[in-house]
Structure formats: structure tokens, C-alpha cells
Structure 1
Amino acid sequence: MSEIDKRNKLNEEPFDYQVTKKGTILISYKGEQIKIVKDKEAERLLTKIKAEENNSAAVQLLLAKITGNFKRGNEKVGKNIRK
């Protein structure tokens, strides 16, 4: 785990998830929803989370991997561009 999370960002537990009645998983990062996982992919993710429910670092890693590379550092740039 130390090779994957070198800066120890996952120890802060930035990811959270919520399972809806339909089985859809809503994934949020620092309180902001970033991804919706549905159908078979949601079932597979939920199975993996249940297997690692006692290890919060492993759950954080699973959520980080499923969201992919969503933060690139330029999210707010578009609002401040002069025309």
C-alpha cells in the first residue's frame, strides 16, 4: 500500500460512498459527488468493499481506482478566463 499512496492522501479518507435502493453506488470526494456506478460494475464494487470493510485504507483505494483520474488541477480555470 505504501508504494501506491506515497503522499498518504488516502489516510485522510477523502472518498465516501452511498448505496441507493436500486443498487447504484454514488461516490463522492470531500463531500462532492464525482461518480455514479450502476448495474454489474456496482455489484462487483460492492462485493469488493464488503470483503475489505474492516480495512478503510483498502476501501479508499478501491474508490480511488474506480473514479479514475478525475482531478487534474484545472477544474476552476474555465470560470476565470477573460474573453
Structure 2
Amino acid sequence: MPAADGFDHEVRGSEVVITHHGRRATVLRGAAAARFLADLDDGADEQELSARLTGNYRRGNERTARDHPRNRGR
């Protein structure tokens, strides 16, 4: 699986804005924002954590799903 890259975050008051290649991907507020910042302070990889939170990561099954009989003809 390719490594996540291109994510950045900015703290705006009580919100955390996560961008991907300069475009806003998500905004975390309240407890989610606090948990995100705490995880970063604990040494979590920002790229992987951001990818997980935004849902922007590859799962490795794209080709398998495309070839499934119910998805043929789409």
C-alpha cells in the first residue's frame, strides 16, 4: 500500500482543518480535534492519521471490486 502524503493541518481556535494537497479535506471540532492533536503529541504519524480521519487512503481491493460480477458493465 502506498504511503499517505500531502496532508497538512492548521489549528484555528478550537477547530483543526486538515488539507490534502492544499484543498480542505475535513474540519475536526471539539473532542475529535483534541484527540487528533493529542495523538500527534504522542508521536503518531500525521500523514497516516490524517488519511485515516479523512477516509483518503487506498484499501488495496479496488481492482478486485472492479472485476466482481455485480460491478461489470458499470
Q: What is the Cα deviation at residue 7 of structure 1?
A: 2.1
Higher relative contact order, structure no. (Cα contacts within 8 Å, ≥ 6 residues apart): 2
> Partner residue of 2:17?
26
TM-score, normalised on structure 2? 0.67
Give matches, 1:1-83, under 5 Å. Answer: 6-8=1-3, 10=4, 13-20=5-12, 22-52=13-43, 58-69=45-56
TM-score, normalised on structure 1? 0.61
Larger-gyration structure (1/2): 2
Number of aligned residue pairs: give it.
57
Q: Which runs of 4+ in 1 moved over 3 A?
A: none
Q: Which runs of 5+ in 2 are unaligned?
A: 58-74
Q: What is the Cα deviation at residue 50 of structure 1?
A: 1.3
Q: What is the Cα deviation at residue 69 of structure 1?
A: 4.3
Q: Which runs of 5+ in 1 are unaligned?
A: 1-5, 71-83
Q: Could you tell me the percent identity over the aligned residues?
A: 25
SS at match of 1:7: coil
| More strand as a share of residues | 2
Amino acid at match of 2:8: D
SS at match of 2:40: helix
